[in-house]
Amino acid sequence: MLEASSSKPIYLQIADWLENEILEGTLSANDKVHSQYQLAEIFNVNPATAGKGIGLLLEKEIVYKRRGLGTFVSEEGHEKLLAERTEERLQKKINALLEEAKRLQIDYEELLQLIEKSHRQQGGEEN
């Protein structure tokens, strides 16, 4: 749910909440998304703010609009979200890993060896 005290702007929190609904399968492809007015009532926020949350998903083409009917989850919405989140989170972890290696003065070759070792230990295929 939303946290008023969270430093994240409320429309971003609403966008996140909608994305989670899609990721968790509560909303599937071509399902109707809550209107900005429903979201405003659910989260006790101005409808324009709720509209901005939906707008973010429209921009990313995770949802689409049908004139007079409302907003719906796009066919590729779920996949797009998966790709985006994976990329974002995995990339962050890789960056953190590189930072830590630098701090410990482990050079790139050594780091690659460590990764391969872990990969083998977890039963991964050898290259």
Partner 1 sequence: MTVITCQNVTKSYRSYNVLNDIQFDIKENTLTGIIGRNGVGKTTLMKMIAGYTEVDAGKLEVFSENPFNNLIVSSNTVFIDDTMTFPESMTIQDIFKECKRFFDRWDNQLATRLSTYSGLHPKTKPYILSKGKRSIFHAIIGIASRSPLTIFDEPTNGMDAVVRKDFYRALLKDYIAHPRTILLSSHHIEEIENLLEDVLLIHNQTILFHGSITDLQERFITLMGTEQKLGNYMDSDDVIALQKIDSYVTLTMKNRFTEQEFEVMRENGIHVSNVSANDAYVALTGKSKGGIDDVFN
Which DSSP symbol is given to 60?
T
Please, which of residues 97-126 interact with partner 1 by CB under 8 A?
Answer: 99
Nearer to partner 1, 20 or 46 (CB): 46
Task: Indicate left, alpha or beta for 6 from its phi (over 0: left) and psi (-120 to 50: alpha).
Answer: beta
- Contact set for partner 1, span 23-42 (CB under 8 A): 37, 40-41
* Token duo for residue 81: 């979200």
What H or E segment, with its residue span, contains residue 64?
A: strand 63-66
**Binding of partner 1 by 18 (CB under 8 A):** no
In three-state secondary structure terms, 65 is: strand
Q: Tell me which of 1, 4, 69, 104 binds partner 1, using CB under 8 A.
A: 4
DSSP state for residue 32 in the 8-state scheme: B
Residue 22 in tokens:
């899609």
3-state secondary structure (DSSP) of residue 97: helix
Among 21, 31, 42, 47, binds partner 1 (CB under 8 A): 47
Q: Does residue number 91 form part of the binding site for partner 1 (CB under 8 A)?
A: no
Closest approach, Cβ 23 to partner 1, in A, equals 22
Among 21, 42, 49, 80, binds partner 1 (CB under 8 A): 49
Q: Should residue 9 be labelled a site residue for partner 1 when binding is judged by CB under 8 A?
A: yes
Measured from the Cβ of residue 62, the count of other Cβ atoms closer than 10 Å reads 22
Binding site for partner 1 (CB under 8 A): 4, 7-11, 37, 40-41, 43-49, 52, 95, 99
